[in-house]
Structure 1
Amino acid sequence: MNIDFGADPTFSWYVVLLCISGVAMVGMALVKNSGQSDGARILGGVVGAAFLGYGVFLGFMSEGDSYWMFFQAFFLPVILVVNFVRGALARRSQVKQD
């Protein structure tokens, strides 16, 4: 296992955040009535699976001493959560009006 907060906290937090982001994005993609289009849900699920897979790879399988840090891993989940919540609220208000 490569996660060691004492030796390299930046790497360790990056791996943890990748995994959390990946799980959250896949979870949001699985919610059907969130107001998101099918394409957005599929894209979110694929990107979330990629984040989760890369986090697991870095944390448990990688033996190298270098890695790519994607800053999108920090911004994209936030954007998708905002879009998810906005779509869910819009759908909720539309159901109340009908």
Structure 2
Amino acid sequence: MNIDFGLDPTFSWYVVLLCISGAAMVGMALVKSTGQSNGARILSGVVGAAFLGYGVFLGFISEGDSYWMFFQAFFLPAILVVNFVRGALARRSERPRV
């Protein structure tokens, strides 16, 4: 396992955040939301699987001493989370109150 917060905390946090954001995006893709198009769900699932896969690869499989760190890649999950929450809130407000 390559995750060692004492040796390289930046790398370790990067791997953890990749896995968390990837799992969250896959989870959002699995939830059918009226405010989210099928294209957005597919994009969320594919990108989430890629993030999760890269995080697992870096954390548990790779034995190399170099890796690509894409900080800008965390903007897409943030945008998709905002879109997901907005859709859920819109669906909630459309429900008739009894």
Please indicate the TM-score interval, normalised by the length of the shorter structure: over 0.9
Could you tell me which amino acid in structure 2 is paired with residue 57 of structure 1? Answer: F
Which 4+ stretches in 1 moved above 4 angstroms?
A: none
Identity of aligned residues (%): 88
CA distance in structure 1 between the aligned counterparts of 2:94 and 2:84, rounded to whole angstroms: 15
Aligned length: 97
* Pair 1:84 & 2:84 matched: yes
TM-score by length of 1: 0.92
Q: Classify the secondary structure of the residue corresponding to 1:96.
A: coil
TM-score by length of 2: 0.92
Shift of 1:77: 1.5
- Indicate conservation of the 8 Å contact 2:15/2:55, yes or no: yes
Distance 1:70 1:34, change over 3 A: farther
Segments of structure 1 that go 5 or more residues without pairing to the other structure are: none
RMSD of the alignment, in Å? Answer: 1.3
Shift of 1:34: 4.6
